[in-house]
Every structure is written in C-alpha cells, then in structure tokens.
Amino acid sequence: MPPVCRSCNVLAVFICASAILLLSFKSVTALSTVNDNLLDENGNPLVLMGASWFGFNNGATMVDGLWNPADAFTYDFATIIYRWQLLGFNAIRLPFSMQNLYDVAPINKLSTQCGSIPTFSQIAYSVVDPSAKVAANLSTFPQPNNWPTHSPSTCNEYLPQNTTIDRFVWVVKFLANAGFYVIIDDHTEDPTVVNNQTQFMSYWVDIVTRISQDPVARKRFIVDILNEPDARGWGWNVMSSLYLQVMDTLYPINNNLLFFVEGCGQGSFGANWGDGFQTTGINPGSGNDPNPFFQGLFGKPYINQVVISPHVYGPSVTGASSNYFGSGLWTRLSNSFGYLTKTGYTFNGMTKRFPVVIGETGSKFQIDGDLKFLADFKSYLLNNGSAADGLHNAIPNVIWWDWNDNSGDTGGLVDSTWYNLIWIKVEYLNALGLTPWYSSASAASPNLTPSSLPSPSSSSYPSPSTYPSPNSSPAPSPSPSSSPSTSPSSSPSPSSSPSPKGASSSCNALFQLSTPWSNGQWPTSSINIYITNSASSGTMPAGWTFTMSNAGYVAQSGTWNFRLSQLSNGVVTGIADQSWEALVAGGGSVNIGLIISSTTGSFLPKSFTVNGKACTISTFSSGH
C-alpha cells in the first residue's frame, strides 16, 4: 500500500518548503507555466498537440484497436505510436479507470506472431495526407524516438502481460521515452472516486509513484485529476477541495508534475463536459462557484503547475441549441476560461494568469451545427478575425478526442479499419498547428503533386482488408442520429460494465461493437467477442459451442475464429474448434467475431452461452 496520509503531510511540508526555495532559484527541472504559457522540463516554451487514446478505462486493459494480429500496422503498439510521432503529435492522453488498472487482469495477451512489421518508410508514408503537396524524399523522415526490439513477425512482445497496472505504467514510460508528454486521466467509467475517496487517493499516489521511478517519464507526465466531474453530478462545491487535496498529496511525490483541472457545475451557462470556470456573476459557495478553488491555489507551491483544461464540443455532443458558434460561442468561452489566459484571476491584490489546454474536443464533422462550431472554435483558438475579442489570448494546446474509432459520439482520427486516417480531422489539427513530418519537404518543393509520391501500394502493406471488419464493406456511414446526445444532467456512457470480476457466472463475454453502417438493407456491425473462463479451475477444451441471440439478427457476412453452424430466428450458433481456443480457467480471453446485420439496429445479444451455460455480457464503452 502507498504511504499513509500522516507521512504524506509531513513530507508535504518539507517538500513545499524546499520547492519554495527552488522556485526562487528558478528551477527548470519541472514542467511548469508562466502566465498563459506552458514550459517544458528545460524551461522552454511548450505547446501540446495530442489526442486521447482510450482502452485502459473500459475493460480493454490496453489502448483499444490492437485487435487483429494479421495486420501489424494496426496491431503493433510501437508501430502506431511511430505514426503518431510522424503526424506531429507530442502529447497523448490516456483515459484510465483505477478499477481496471488494479482489479482487472489483462484480457488479452497481445504479444504474438503477427503480419510482418512494416518498414519505417512504409510507416512514414502511411501518414502522408493524399491532398498534401509533398516532396518525396524517403531518406528524410524522422526515425522513431523509441523502437523496442521486435523479433521477426512478432508484435507487442515488449508489453507486460502480467497485470494491467504494470502494462499501464509501462505504456506511460514508453511514450515519455518516445518524446511524448503523457496526460493520464481518471475517466468517467471509474467508480473509485465515488465509492471510496481514500482508495482514490491511494491509487493516485501509487500510480504517480510508479511512473516517477522512470527518470524521463517523471518529467513528462501530466495528471488530469478527474474527467468531467459533471458526469458524476459533482460541481465546484465538491471539486474545489478534492482538486486541492489531490495536488497537495501528489506534488510532494513528484514536483515535476503538471496538473490538469477540468471545469464543472456551470451547465446553466452552457458549459458542458469539463468546461465551466467562470468566476463572476455566480452564486457564492454553490456548485457553480470555482472561487474557493482559485483562492485556495494562492500560496500553494504548485500554483505554477496548474493548467486549465476544459472540454469543448459542438452541438452533436452537447445538445446545445445556442451559443455554439459565432459571437455567442466566443463570449461563452471567454467568460468560462478565455479570461484566465489574459486578465487572469486576482486574489488579495495578486493576479495569476493560467495556460489553457483544450483537454477534449472532437466531432464526426457530419452535421451542419458541428461544422459551424468547428470553424468558429478554430478562429477562437487562433484568436483570429472576429474571434479576436480582446478578452483572451490564442490557445495553441489541443488534445483531440480521439484516436479511437469506437467513440460513439465523435468517431476517431482513424476509421473502423484503425488504419485509414480521417483527413478532414487531421487537416483541422494541422490548421491549429499540428506539424507532420513532411511539412518541411512540402515547403521546400511546393509544386510536387501527390501523383509524384511513391504511393504506398497496397501490396507493400499489410492491407487493411485483412482486418476482419467493415472496411471491406461499403464505407461505413454512421448516421448522426445514432450518436448519444447527452446533457450534463444525464450520465454518459452508462452502458459500460467493465468489471468481469464481479460477475457471478464463470464465463464472461466482452463485446466490442463497431460503429454500425448500412449494408444497403440493414444496419450492420462488426462484432468482436472476447470470452474468458473465470472459474477457479477447469478448462473447456477447444471445440466448445456457443449461441448468441437477439431478435434482430438477420444475416452475417463474415466470421473469424469459429465455424458458423446456424443463423436463424435471431439465434447464431457456432463452434470454436481451433487448437488454441481452449478456455483455460483464469486464463486469457479467446477472441471470436463476426459481421452481422440486425433489423432493429441493436447488436448486443440478449443472451450468450458457451456449451449451454449462460455467460455474463459486458461491453467496451465508447463516448467521450
């Protein structure tokens, strides 16, 4: 167990005193801030451009998407991270659930034989925007900053397979050593903070202690204390003291940290989902009053390590019907957090300005309201044109939500193949400052056209078509109406039940549903099912049969890792008889899957049995 509180406090007093001394000598070993700017661990200006990649929060026990060993391009973690590096990202946000990290064993061993690892030049050219004018010089792309040993045709052999917390800490250290700033975020699915705040604090201490043991990672990770408190029904009346308590506790363990603080409690001002920092014109002491938080920061040794991190979305996610574009949007944002970058917060005659990092924003770019929002939000971040309201400074730090295709309300930077980039999103980030590796080549030879590129031929790639999923079908066109348009009063993504542990059945079936598309007749989805045997002993040998039923099931167009026996009257039966498919008690999961159509558009089965016995059914969650 992590240190108990008494020793923390003694340590805190000691370290606070040393930190004040250090500050007066202008320490440059910590991430920090000056006015509205971020400073890196060497004291130089820092701009964060990143995206979230979830999976440690929803029962997947690893970032999502590493599902198809046949395709190293989407299966090998280091390969994907190299793609991020080449796209120009320097930050990655990892949503997690403490309950998953500590109570859920890795569901997937991941380290395995895979399709051949792509070459560095294949990876470099896999992220070139087809509409960019790029001078092709294959020798000039940057090498990966961190490339673990790969045995031939083996992926992910470097990932810890023993516990989820070990894997998570390893991932953070790997990313930090690959040149990324790593934002770790206790996400909405995690019940810990609601159930037991002592436990919440102890887990934070343990996580920060573990990561801080790495000399590089300890200077490059960021604590995003609690995702979207509104989703738990909490406003500033709860969060002011909770935020301060977490920072008081963690700062003495690692005084290099930056802390991200999300807003809350201001839904009535149109602030949704992690927004809401307005400090004037509000009811003192109420859930929408952050003044006690800001006042509490004065005198804290970490005041220059606190970053304001609102989440800002368009109407398809927030459901807003006003103030999501134009001057209505700009006024709302300046009132909420823009003012903190320019005039700052004044208390007892002292004024403190804060940097802002947009901790989440994202969209499917499909509905008119979102397109208006995105254009005007860009102007606001750039402080350009009519959005230059004189009330805020430009905000260059943006963390996109997200890499994952399986985010129900926004989709991802990659489509359902997890390989193809959605260029309209990448280009939006390019306009905000994301600089891909080929941008200097582009500036050097602006007249070259894409046709002169050595275009990544499908034969030289592990073709995404080997992925057993919708990419071989007509382009998925998820309808905007399927996106959960929630308001802060309702709790988001309640569908996730990420704890196979609590299940009473000894068989668990974890479902991963793709965004549905239409096959021309019915809604269709690609379904991955991870089956585990959580009994204390006994193996179900390969050759087990399963049934899954849902009145809507009507046709399938592909299966993997099982033989279909029958699909009729909404019941699918099949047999998993490959030698490696034994369900070992307490062992890893066995993955089967299929592409199936459903007349009702619902894809989760009402029941799932293995050898006639019912399994508990859970889902990977999605949503921001």
For ligand NAG, give the closer residue by CB, 445 or 487. 445
Closest approach of Cβ 1 to ligand NAG, in Å?
A: 7
- Can you name the residues that pair with 51 across neighbouring β-strands? 92, 400
> Which residues are CB-neighbours of 23 under 8 A, at least 6 positions away?
301, 304
Question: Which residue's CB atom is positioned nearest to ligand NAG?
Answer: 385
Sole window of 62-70, 196-204, 401-409, 607-615 interacting with ligand NAG (rule: CB under 6 A): 196-204
d(CA 259, CA 13): 19
Closest approach of Cβ 336 to ligand NAG, in Å?
A: 22
**Strand (E) or helix (H) holding 379:** helix 368-382
Residue with tokens 């003012």: 339
Residue 451 identity:
S
Residue 137 near ligand NAG by CB under 6 A: yes
**DSSP strands (E only) in 198-257:** 221-224
For ligand NAG, give the closer residue by CB, 163 or 393. 163
For ligand NAG, give the closer residue by CB, 137 or 539. 137
The only residue of 24, 149, 198, 569 in contact with ligand NAG, by rule CB under 6 A: 198
The only residue of 24, 162, 504, 569 in contact with ligand NAG, by rule CB under 6 A: 162
DSSP state at residue 354:
-
d(CA 232, CA 494): 11
Residue 139 near ligand NAG by CB under 6 A: yes
Closest approach of Cβ 278 to ligand NAG, in Å?
A: 26
Q: Following DSSP, what letter does each residue of 248-299 receive, concatenated?
A: HHHTTT-TT-EEEE---S-GGGT--SS-----SSS-TTSTT--HHHHHHHTT
Residue 283 near ligand NAG by CB under 6 A: no
Residue 389 near ligand NAG by CB under 6 A: no
d(CA 579, CA 71): 21
The only residue of 57, 202, 514, 609 in contact with ligand NAG, by rule CB under 6 A: 202
Residue 140 near ligand NAG by CB under 6 A: yes
- Cis ω before 103 (30° cut-off from 0): no
The only residue of 27, 37, 146, 163 in contact with ligand NAG, by rule CB under 6 A: 163
Residue 199 near ligand NAG by CB under 6 A: yes
Closest approach of Cβ 313 to ligand NAG, in Å?
A: 20
Closest approach of Cβ 602 to ligand NAG, in Å?
A: 36
Closest approach of Cβ 441 to ligand NAG, in Å?
A: 9
The only residue of 23, 303, 382, 555 in contact with ligand NAG, by rule CB under 6 A: 382
For ligand NAG, give the closer residue by CB, 448 or 542. 448
Residue 565 near ligand NAG by CB under 6 A: no
Residue 440 near ligand NAG by CB under 6 A: no
Kindly give the pairing relationship between strand 91-96 and strand 112-113: unpaired
Query: Taking the C-alpha atoms of 196, 200, 205 and 210 in order, what is their torsion angle to the nearest 10 degrees?
Result: 120
d(CA 455, CA 129): 11
Sole window of 198-206, 229-237, 320-328, 528-536 interacting with ligand NAG (rule: CB under 6 A): 198-206
Sole window of 134-142, 335-343, 410-418, 453-461 interacting with ligand NAG (rule: CB under 6 A): 134-142
Structure token digits, residue 35: 């006015």
Sole window of 110-118, 132-140, 531-539, 587-595 interacting with ligand NAG (rule: CB under 6 A): 132-140
- Closest alpha carbon to 205 in 243, 255, 253: 253
For ligand NAG, give the closer residue by CB, 2 or 470. 2
Structure token digits, residue 267: 């839904």
Please count the residues of this chain forming the interface with ligand NAG, following the rule CB under 6 A: 14
In contact, 296 and 352? CB cutoff 8 Å: no
In contact, 398 and 49? CB cutoff 8 Å: yes
Closest approach of Cβ 158 to ligand NAG, in Å?
A: 9
Residue 452 near ligand NAG by CB under 6 A: no
> Which residues are CB-neighbours of 245 under 8 A, at least 6 positions away?
201
d(CA 605, CA 571): 9
d(CA 8, CA 17): 14
For ligand NAG, give the closer residue by CB, 168 or 339. 168
- First vs last Cα of the chain: how many Å apart? 32
For ligand NAG, give the closer residue by CB, 160 or 601. 160
Closest approach of Cβ 211 to ligand NAG, in Å?
A: 13
Sole window of 68-76, 135-143, 185-193, 320-328 interacting with ligand NAG (rule: CB under 6 A): 135-143
In contact, 355 and 39? CB cutoff 8 Å: no
Neighbours of 368 (CB within 10 A): 10
Closest approach of Cβ 137 to ligand NAG, in Å?
A: 4
Residue 166 near ligand NAG by CB under 6 A: yes
Residue 196 near ligand NAG by CB under 6 A: yes
Q: Residue numbers of the site for ligand NAG (CB under 6 A)?
A: 137, 139-140, 160, 162-163, 166, 196, 198-199, 202, 382, 384-385
